[in-house]
Structure 1
């Protein structure tokens, strides 16, 4: 038995080692690759990346390899060859090459969740991308904020905070996710969570939990639960769209975002009902995680930095007291006057780095200028924009929460070293909306409510920003004469 066991062990090791060498050799295809390692067979270096780090700094997986290989290095994540870059010049080149040598890409788990008719729609470009960006700017951009959204956000936030104040405490990340998602769903297709039999935020929470998992669709796995929630969410959106299509014959103008999409189906031939469903699904996902994560992190940081909270509160009190009528809604000018609040939000975005990086798929071989190596077609590039936001040459003491640093920073330096909403033609169409939502949230919070942190969270990266068992906050209404 011992002899048989030894033979089996040797055979396994031989297979493992031979696969390891094939795994590294098969990627080269006769070209000089960026420095780095493809890791173990099949899984590559995935386990190193998803191992949690309890710091707001860059994940150790990235930091250690920068020190070893330089600002551009290769690896293997979830069975895919990936080049990770923290090089500013190369990152700008990648963004500029959108639609030519690179296209938008997500790892298999994420991309599979967003597929339609066998083709991923996450990399939409050309006329479709232009249409998607245009319609969301129409309904969530600066002009829409000026014309109608700001008072709607203010009222919606107040309603949620009042409900939170009636509870002993709430887990702020979870509740903020539901708040943002429900507001956006209301503007997109008239969703009313109180009348719906489905909880959108719970579905999206389960989807998010499975996105960084291996795409193994077996009952009991995170990916399987993710897929089931995806199916449930898309079915809900599909039924909603059918109801709207059936009842839209008399509607010639106005309405929400979906109403406009239905009218556009007649002139934009690529707009099928199923494509609209996937676009809505993706849009809701984009709103779900980022804003709520920044709000949650802000609570943690503000509770640890009372001087920041004091100045933030003073600014919001000043905005409130400048109103001739204390009951009048906030305006665009009010929002734009929240200078320090925007600095706090920028600093939280800088430290938060909610996603580990932005991914692009290589369409044609890329010879990296001045480096002597090539990134083959079919590979994935992860642009780690957060590395710029942790650069001590740009941000003194980068791990320090210091909103005042933004007061003195040059706008040109900011544009080149701060991109929390992406870059190039793919910069998030909801960037202004996200900032405005957070400013209005803190205005309502600090002028109408009091809050106390009951339990803080252990902040981690794996590599997405995580909050452990959550940040628990107690809210109470305050009464202003």
Structure 2
């Protein structure tokens, strides 16, 4: 009995020591306040619980109210500092390569092959290269020179198809639309004639975004990895066919990367495939989420729809030829449309936050974030701060009339910040504005059912968003 008692006592002491060590991590200073949750699991489950509001996730909101704007916790066994502090967030995004590097949660890293030596978006030279070729193919210059009318034509065809259906589930349909156009732009993918429905694989993968990384049959993450492997196989076949072709005439992003393999020694077939995969995923999800939320919010605000319609009908009336295509000057003149898009992006940040890892101990406002710790910058908190935006949960596009550029640069980061600001930002906004232009001038639409927002953890709708489209009779 004494032996058993001693063993139990030793286990209790060891367990108490281990729990105390877990709850009070080592730090060469003062850690931000907070709690670490359970060993190994941390507070992961509380963070990934669905939230049925455009407001801050309840977990983050409660923690911030209890501990302040910068607090610590643990997600999937990794210590992490979450911040809703505008000053800290603005500071950190400018410190990449010095104090922080990009970090991806385990499931996201595995889905995009960003582990170990293959951290493709972390290596500065690689990021700089791919950012430049993205801008070459869908930045402001190509948009202005030739992409804008292509987007308009594609949107016209898409809305014509949608209007022939009794109902359209907006999030899925918008995902397919955005993916098919971007894939055509990047890899000359022909959705209508291709036997491979790549959009299906990519939209299925979304279910595993930041899910718990358990690669066990039956789990969401396992299914997502399977879809990812199939999507990568499709891209690998396209790449191999291009390389083995005697002539290359596509002049798309993939061609540029292949042609640069000789002079850019870091480029490899695997790297190109993985980066193209990540770019396609990021583009369709950001556009589809923002577009769906736009239609959902505008449907609930008739005055916004009326002003949008007036602005775009005025563009048509001011044209010399009513049948001419949308011009860059017309796009830039869409003052209210840009206000609507900004307001949607302010309310509906697609990603839960920007993720970084501390390369060195970081000192800020008396706290120390240890080297190796992860950091999540919750920028949606800045955009939903009542001290920054009056009545922040209200959909009010007119608020943007009086906001100056300095204020916006510090308090509005829908596309990230610092050197990591999304290279596709202008492309996404142009796509959204063009869609609205075609929609309000040529179609009528009605929200039939659904539209209840949910973050799980990316933005979506609990029961979908079902819309009826019909062409305007001339």
TM-score by length of 2: 0.95
Q: What is the rounded CA distance, in whole Å, between the counterparts of 2:16 and 2:121 in structure 1?
A: 36
Please name the residue that 1:330 is paired with: 326
Pairs within 5 Å for 1:128-143: 128-143=126-141
The alignment partner of 2:232 has SS state of helix
Deviation string, structure 1 residues 349-393 (Cα, Å, up to 9, x no partner): 00101111100011111122x32x211111111011111101112
The alignment partner of 1:396 has SS state of coil
Q: Could you say if the C-alpha distance between residues 124 and 71 of structure 1 is closer, same or farther in structure 2, counting changes exceeding 3 Å?
A: same
Please name the residue that 1:182 is paired with: 180
From 264, 273, 286, the equivalent of 1:268 is 264
The alignment partner of 1:76 has SS state of strand
Q: What is the rounded CA distance, in whole Å, between the counterparts of 1:416 and 1:259 in structure 2?
A: 37
1:234 aligned to 2:232? yes
Please name the residue that 1:448 is paired with: 442
Please name the residue that 1:378 is paired with: 372
Please name the residue that 2:429 is paired with: 435
The alignment partner of 2:397 has SS state of coil
- Asked whether the 8 Å contact 2:120–2:126 carries over to 1, the reply is no
- Asked whether the 8 Å contact 2:111–2:228 carries over to 1, the reply is yes
The alignment partner of 1:296 has SS state of helix
Please name the residue that 2:70 is paired with: 72
- How far does residue 58 in structure 1 lie from its aligned partner after superposition? 0.8
Q: Could you say if the C-alpha distance between residues 14 and 295 of structure 1 is closer, same or farther in structure 2, counting changes exceeding 3 Å?
A: farther
- How far does residue 32 in structure 1 lie from its aligned partner after superposition? 2.4
Please name the residue that 1:284 is paired with: 280
Deviation string, structure 1 residues 94-127 (Cα, Å, up to 9, x no partner): 1111011111111000011122685343533322
Q: What is the rounded CA distance, in whole Å, between the counterparts of 1:72 and 1:29 in structure 2?
A: 16
Please name the residue that 2:4 is paired with: none
- Asked whether the 8 Å contact 1:449–1:478 carries over to 2, the reply is yes
- Asked whether the 8 Å contact 2:120–2:271 carries over to 1, the reply is no
Q: What is the rounded CA distance, in whole Å, between the counterparts of 1:29 and 1:441 in structure 2?
A: 51
- How far does residue 245 in structure 1 lie from its aligned partner after superposition? 1.1
Q: Could you say if the C-alpha distance between residues 464 and 11 of structure 1 is closer, same or farther in structure 2, counting changes exceeding 3 Å?
A: farther
Q: What is the rounded CA distance, in whole Å, between the counterparts of 2:212 and 2:218 in structure 1?
A: 13
Q: What is the rounded CA distance, in whole Å, between the counterparts of 1:346 and 1:34 in structure 2?
A: 32
Please name the residue that 2:360 is paired with: 364
- How far does residue 225 in structure 1 lie from its aligned partner after superposition? 0.5
The alignment partner of 1:99 has SS state of coil
The alignment partner of 1:474 has SS state of strand
From 49, 52, 55, the equivalent of 1:54 is 52
Please name the residue that 1:215 is paired with: 213
Deviation string, structure 1 residues 315-340 (Cα, Å, up to 9, x no partner): 11111222222221111011101110
Q: What is the rounded CA distance, in whole Å, between the counterparts of 1:314 and 1:437 in structure 2?
A: 20
The alignment partner of 2:298 has SS state of helix
Q: What is the rounded CA distance, in whole Å, between the counterparts of 1:165 and 1:108 in structure 2?
A: 41
- How far does residue 53 in structure 1 lie from its aligned partner after superposition? 2.0
Please name the residue that 1:4 is paired with: none
Deviation string, structure 1 residues 157-187 (Cα, Å, up to 9, x no partner): 1111111111100100100011001100001
Q: What is the rounded CA distance, in whole Å, between the counterparts of 2:151 and 2:349 in structure 1?
A: 24
- Asked whether the 8 Å contact 1:320–1:326 carries over to 2, the reply is yes
From 120, 125, 144, the equivalent of 2:142 is 144
Q: What is the rounded CA distance, in whole Å, between the counterparts of 1:360 and 1:349 in structure 2?
A: 22
1:310 aligned to 2:306? yes
- How far does residue 258 in structure 1 lie from its aligned partner after superposition? 0.9
Deviation string, structure 1 residues 185-206 (Cα, Å, up to 9, x no partner): 0010110112222222221122
Please name the residue that 1:5 is paired with: none
Q: Could you say if the C-alpha distance between residues 29 and 474 of structure 1 is closer, same or farther in structure 2, counting changes exceeding 3 Å?
A: same
Q: What is the rounded CA distance, in whole Å, between the counterparts of 1:380 and 1:296 in structure 2?
A: 31
- How far does residue 231 in structure 1 lie from its aligned partner after superposition? 0.4
Aligned residue pairs total 467
Q: What is the rounded CA distance, in whole Å, between the counterparts of 2:115 and 2:59 in structure 1?
A: 36
Please name the residue that 1:390 is paired with: 384
- How far does residue 10 in structure 1 lie from its aligned partner after superposition? 11
Please name the residue that 2:95 is paired with: 97
Please name the residue that 1:6 is paired with: none
Runs of 4+ in 1 over 4 A off after TM superposition: 9-19
TM-score by length of 1: 0.93
Unaligned runs of 5+ in 2: 1-7
Q: What is the rounded CA distance, in whole Å, between the counterparts of 2:11 and 2:178 in structure 1?
A: 51
- Asked whether the 8 Å contact 1:352–1:465 carries over to 2, the reply is yes
Unaligned runs of 5+ in 1: 1-8
Q: What is the rounded CA distance, in whole Å, between the counterparts of 1:254 and 1:178 in structure 2?
A: 22
- Asked whether the 8 Å contact 1:114–1:121 carries over to 2, the reply is no
Q: Which sits farther off after the overlay, 446-455 or 28-37? A: 28-37
Please name the residue that 1:106 is paired with: 104
Q: What is the rounded CA distance, in whole Å, between the counterparts of 1:128 and 1:100 in structure 2?
A: 17
Pairs within 5 Å for 1:149-168: 149-168=147-166
When the two chains are superposed, the root-mean-square deviation of aligned CA atoms in Å is 1.9
Q: What is the rounded CA distance, in whole Å, between the counterparts of 2:15 and 2:188 in structure 1?
A: 55
- How far does residue 21 in structure 1 lie from its aligned partner after superposition? 2.6
Please name the residue that 1:37 is paired with: 35
Deviation string, structure 1 residues 386-414 (Cα, Å, up to 9, x no partner): 11101112211101100000011111111
Q: What is the rounded CA distance, in whole Å, between the counterparts of 2:89 and 2:431 in structure 1?
A: 29
Q: What is the rounded CA distance, in whole Å, between the counterparts of 1:210 and 1:126 in structure 2?
A: 27
- Asked whether the 8 Å contact 2:211–2:220 carries over to 1, the reply is yes
